[in-house]
Structure 1
Amino acid sequence: MVDQIFRSSLPSVALPRRSIFTHLLGTCPRTPDLVGGFPASAPAFIDSVTGSTISRGALRSFALQLAFSLQTPPNPLKALIHAATPPVVLIFSPNSIVWPIMLFGAAAAGFRTTLANSAYTPSELKYQYLDSGARLIFAHPSLFGIVQEMLTSIGYSESDIRSTVVLATSAWFTNTPHPNTNREFSNLTRLEDLLGRGELASEVSFDGERSNDTFCLCYSSGTTGKPKGVETTHYNLTSVIDIVKPVWPPKDKLPDVFLGSLPYYHIYGAAKLLLLPVALCAPTVVVAGFEPDEFLGAIAKYRATYVLVVPPILVVFARHPAIHKYDLTSLRMIFCGAAPLSPDLVRVVRERLQSTGSNVVITQGYGLTETSPTVFILPLEHACDRVGSAGLLLPNLEARLVREDGGEMLTDIESAGELWLRGPTIMKGYLNNPTATAAAITPDGWLKTGDIAVRDNGGFFAIVDRRKELIKYKVLPPAELESVLLQHPDVADTAVIGVHSEEEATELPRAYVVPAKAVPEKEALSFSLGIQRWVASRVAPHKKLRGGIVLVKQVPKSAAGKILRRELRDRAKNDVAFGQVRARAKL
């Protein structure tokens, strides 16, 4: 196999080997007033609703207090901590001001964390809980019912649940109580119960080779079967932070403030809203969920300079009247990831924001959970003339565009190839899944992304297609939805693809369904909507079949039985699907 290895045009940077906690919140006896090299008094996280603020020094102290209790837990948590080495804690919560305390507390204690989608159903949560080997669950009070149902389903008693669950409460900090917490959760341990009992003198060290220990287990959709636990190491995370810095905008006269509603359970949100801002000494405004007025109001209130989004949020910015209600002149950059941006969408949003007096630049990047995540970033100076490009390869990384692998032609697009990546941010592997790891990473360290890319003479990369079949709506694996559909008694066969929605600036999952018995034409609509509702009742909201359902006589497959999704994507342009979500009129 002969193909060129591309290296970044940006100079390599020195990458220390230490824990993510030491890297971002470390201290030195000679400079006791500094945390992570910046003033301990500097704000780190701000609650968007109440304005409650955690300073860098307070964040370090809270994390070390939590770490103390994780290592020497109170009753009734004592029985679980010694069950695994290192122990794994699962965080199941929407974005909250206490998220960084939990994440950094686990890091300081030397624990692993697994971050679960806060929209999960009990069965989806059960898979991740068992697969990750988690022993302790930090659960937001609003999600305790999901956790309780999940643990009960695997045979946990009430006392077992009490020894496993810590309520991720924030009222002790924000003075805004959670509804019904006093009455419903009186027997459960709360986060504040684990603070104030003591404080580790220093964090657990992961210097040198120990930096290759796994810290974070986000679950990647993969291309087949169940989601897989991606083993992200301390070194992966410290490296991705340090290689992003050279292409991040330099400090301006005004103080920088990060804001975004990206979920912290996703590697994009975790790295870009929990870790990178701490490295840059710029506070993050904590936003839970996306509601246009509240989101835009928070930008104005906190004078946010960097706003991190996904394309559907830009669609709202392009249409929603609230864009003219708020002072958005503080904005310097909107950074978008998770799916490619269309030039028209970028133009419309920028023109609307400029009409409000905001001189913002909209740019984007590319990455995967398996790459921790960022690989390419489009520098601000090229954001307008290179719209659609994923950007430049970050320092210390290598890339290849592979056209043929093991005799298989990977793409028929001229000058394109499957993007393979190598470098310090590549995951350790898939947890408990050596077969999947070997299929994804070559013996000499190249990660096969499954995405088809091109590179121009200026070194800018663009993603033009993909081998893998992920649906770019919250990154969904078709196989997972297909396995749910095949449990329906009236479904004989099915295939799921993503269909592009111009209105939503993303792909929506659509199912092609072969009914188990003939469906009269007059009953096709009710039959399809019934299946759609049935699936919706069994999956998280982001996995609903928003692209609708198309009834077919057979699913196109290769001689080996592989679903020919490209054929379905070609015909999807002309198919009319029952139940497809249309543009929301209010936008």
Structure 2
Amino acid sequence: MFASPYPDVEIPKATLYEYLFGGLDAMDLDRIAVVDGMTGAETSYRELVTRIDALAGWLASHEAGPGTTAGLFCPNIPAFAVVFHGILRAGVAVTTVNSLYTAEEVGRQLTDAGASWLFTISPFLERAEAAAQAAGIPAERLVVLDGGDLATAAGHPSLAEALGAGLPAPDLRIDPHSPAVIPYSSGTSGTPKGVMLSQYNLVANVAQNSGFGLTPDDVLLAVLPFFHIYGLTVLLNLAFAERARLVTMPKFDFPEFLRITQDYRCTYLFIAPPIAVALAKHPLVDQYDLSSVRVVVSGAAPLDGELGAAVVRRLGCVMLQGYGMTELSPVSHSIPLRDAGTVPLDSVGYAIPNTQCKLLDIATDEEIPLPADGETGRGQLLVRGPQVMLGYLNQPDATAATIDPDGFLRTGDIATVSAGGVVTIVDRLKELIKYKGYQIAPAELEALLLTHPQIADAAVIGVHADDGEEVPKAFVVRQAGAEVGDEDVMEFVAMHAAPFKRVRFVEFVDAIPKSASGKILRRELRARG
């Protein structure tokens, strides 16, 4: 076993609201908390907290409290911060929903999470209404964050109505160890599962991430989606904890990304590797003044060290890398700002404070000892700490398979560790496909393909496209006499799944290779490309 080289940090047994906003002083209250990157509209910390309290009061007046779950189907806009924290302030659990999901996918998540409320925006309303109907959520519990008249006409309350009621936040005793946030993740394999994170998990992970070196003078560009745990913890909550300024961006567009960075003088960019590729290579970068950027942090997928170095040379910034997963709230490892330049950039650095790890031999599951010098061979990385999830919602078997009796979470990722404790992710056991930082579960696409009347069997693996991205490829067995073609398969998936899940390649085969127990032999499929 090896641990963080840094001393443990104190983790208060407080709610997330108390931890982030309980210590605001007069100077803090007048600082700008959130800026709408598209319009320039600013929200101070005073305004933010007032709105959070008002929404919590309105929800309490509608009998929403502990034991209730609400869905949040919303892109990165300032209102996300109000609604997310307002829901938690009322003692309600929140399940964050991918903005790209179809109505079917949203409905499945809401149903699985047991959500009885849904918050969304007017451009998402058609999908949200269909999803709410599927999940049994009545119109009066589907709250529209913008477009008050549209909401009223459709029989839905609006955020303006809720805030305008001016009701005080409820006086609640909230157990910080109870499930509070339920993002969905495919874990190490399988279809998406609800990850139960407590307020204590979220408080802990913010406290553990002081190594990124944020200050109240920093300006963060929130391009990574808040519905994803990376954006939720490392952008939304960490920024507020450090009294920094957060500039929101509802969807990624590279010219807009560059414009917002330039115009708002952003100092920190938290990104995924595809954005690093653009920053290193795209000619458009030279048309913008990015001199304000002092730190770029990459996560969500492995970053190549040479690519990171190219970003450093082009922007004149510091480059860091972090590692984690939804089940870890999400961060377990990072290169701290203080160690930038001394820790290899293609590594994920050290375990963060209050975190212990071990490496297990892939074949024997025996623990691999830390070497006296050099680095270990490859093994599966396990992590233990206050950021480890409570478990998967209504999935005790999956939880037991992921968290061992000693509290170590099996990440499904293959790593090496140096004598000094530097961890490098080299491969993964899990079968997930990672496309531009998004997780795609092969089993989910396979289940969808099998609903096609002309498909007898199917398997999905990740393959590398010409641009280097990992994308889904489907191996399909046709029904006897069927004439379904490549485009038919791809269009079918596109109709029923989010854009990032779309199948990009199709190969028709006579049979899907499987083990005696019926498990798909993906290794054989990968061998044929």
TM-score by length of 1: 0.84
- 1:219-254 CA deviation, whole Å, 9 max, x = no partner? 112345431111100110111011110x11264xx9
* Partners of 1:10 and 1:379 in 2: CA distance: 10
1:543 maps to a residue whose letter is: K
* Partners of 2:104 and 2:131 in 1: CA distance: 7
* Partners of 1:424 and 1:311 in 2: CA distance: 27
Aligned pairs (5 A) from 1:333-348: 333-348=295-310
Shift of 1:321: 2.6
User: CA 1:165/1:250 → structure 2, altered by over 3 Å: closer, same or farther?
Assistant: closer
Cross-structure match for 1:65: 54
* Partners of 2:228 and 2:14 in 1: CA distance: 23
SS in structure 2 of the partner of residue 396 of structure 1: coil
Selected match of 1:503 from 430, 452, 467: 467
Aligned pairs (5 A) from 1:367-406: 367-380=324-337, 381-383=339-341, 386-403=344-361
User: CA 1:266/1:213 → structure 2, altered by over 3 Å: closer, same or farther?
Assistant: same
Selected match of 1:89 from 46, 51, 70: 70
Selected match of 1:541 from 494, 499, 505: 499
Selected match of 1:21 from 17, 29, 36: 17
User: CA 1:571/1:388 → structure 2, altered by over 3 Å: closer, same or farther?
Assistant: farther
SS in structure 2 of the partner of residue 230 of structure 1: strand
1:182 maps to a residue whose letter is: D
1:63 maps to a residue whose letter is: I
Cross-structure match for 2:101: 120
* Partners of 1:62 and 1:561 in 2: CA distance: 53
8 Å CA contact retained: 2:335, 2:348 = yes
Is 1:182 aligned with 2:149? yes
* Partners of 1:342 and 1:518 in 2: CA distance: 47
Aligned residues: 519
Cα RMSD after superposing both structures? 2.4
User: CA 1:556/1:384 → structure 2, altered by over 3 Å: closer, same or farther?
Assistant: farther
Shift of 1:183: 4.9
Cross-structure match for 2:288: 326
Selected match of 2:39 from 50, 63, 66: 50
Cross-structure match for 1:477: 441
SS in structure 2 of the partner of residue 98 of structure 1: helix
Cross-structure match for 1:140: 121
User: CA 1:555/1:136 → structure 2, altered by over 3 Å: closer, same or farther?
Assistant: same
* Partners of 1:384 and 1:552 in 2: CA distance: 50
- 1:465-486 CA deviation, whole Å, 9 max, x = no partner? 2221111121111100000111
Selected match of 2:193 from 221, 224, 228: 228
Shift of 1:421: 0.9
1:14 maps to a residue whose letter is: E
Larger mean CA deviation between 487-496 and 56-65 belongs to: 487-496
* Partners of 1:165 and 1:144 in 2: CA distance: 9
- 1:354-403 CA deviation, whole Å, 9 max, x = no partner? xxxxx212221110100000011123434576121011100100101011
User: CA 1:102/1:497 → structure 2, altered by over 3 Å: closer, same or farther?
Assistant: same
Shift of 1:85: 4.0
8 Å CA contact retained: 1:404, 1:410 = no
Shift of 1:564: 1.9
8 Å CA contact retained: 2:189, 2:432 = no
SS in structure 1 of the partner of residue 472 of structure 2: strand
User: CA 1:503/1:134 → structure 2, altered by over 3 Å: closer, same or farther?
Assistant: same
Shift of 1:409: 8.3
8 Å CA contact retained: 1:491, 1:513 = yes
- 1:198-225 CA deviation, whole Å, 9 max, x = no partner? 343676344xxx2211110001123454
> Structure 1 regions of 5+ residues with no counterpart?
74-80, 170-177, 354-358, 573-587
Cross-structure match for 1:7: 3
Cross-structure match for 2:262: 300
Aligned pairs (5 A) from 1:307-322: 307-322=269-284
1:65 maps to a residue whose letter is: A
Is 1:290 aligned with 2:255? no
Shift of 1:489: 2.2
* Partners of 1:426 and 1:69 in 2: CA distance: 32
8 Å CA contact retained: 1:364, 1:377 = yes
User: CA 1:462/1:570 → structure 2, altered by over 3 Å: closer, same or farther?
Assistant: farther
Cross-structure match for 2:423: 461
Shift of 1:502: 6.1
Cross-structure match for 2:372: none
8 Å CA contact retained: 1:108, 1:203 = no
- 1:143-190 CA deviation, whole Å, 9 max, x = no partner? 110121223346x6xxx6322210012xxxxxxxx5xx6357523210
Cross-structure match for 1:217: 182
Aligned pairs (5 A) from 1:399-478: 399-403=357-361, 415-473=377-435, 474-478=438-442
- 1:111-139 CA deviation, whole Å, 9 max, x = no partner? 11110111111111111111111111101
Selected match of 1:487 from 438, 451, 455: 451
Cross-structure match for 1:579: none
Selected match of 1:530 from 488, 491, 494: 488
* Partners of 1:184 and 1:232 in 2: CA distance: 31
1:91 maps to a residue whose letter is: L
* Partners of 1:414 and 1:396 in 2: CA distance: 23
* Partners of 2:105 and 2:168 in 1: CA distance: 35
User: CA 1:439/1:183 → structure 2, altered by over 3 Å: closer, same or farther?
Assistant: closer
8 Å CA contact retained: 1:91, 1:114 = yes
Cross-structure match for 1:585: none
2:143 maps to a residue whose letter is: V
1:298 maps to a residue whose letter is: I
* Partners of 2:323 and 2:160 in 1: CA distance: 38
2:430 maps to a residue whose letter is: K
2:166 maps to a residue whose letter is: G
* Partners of 2:490 and 2:214 in 1: CA distance: 48
8 Å CA contact retained: 1:317, 1:349 = yes
Shift of 1:497: 1.0
* Partners of 1:465 and 1:331 in 2: CA distance: 31
SS in structure 2 of the partner of residue 432 of structure 1: coil
* Partners of 1:66 and 1:376 in 2: CA distance: 35
User: CA 1:205/1:129 → structure 2, altered by over 3 Å: closer, same or farther?
Assistant: same
Is 1:162 aligned with 2:139? yes
* Partners of 1:410 and 1:141 in 2: CA distance: 52
SS in structure 2 of the partner of residue 163 of structure 1: helix
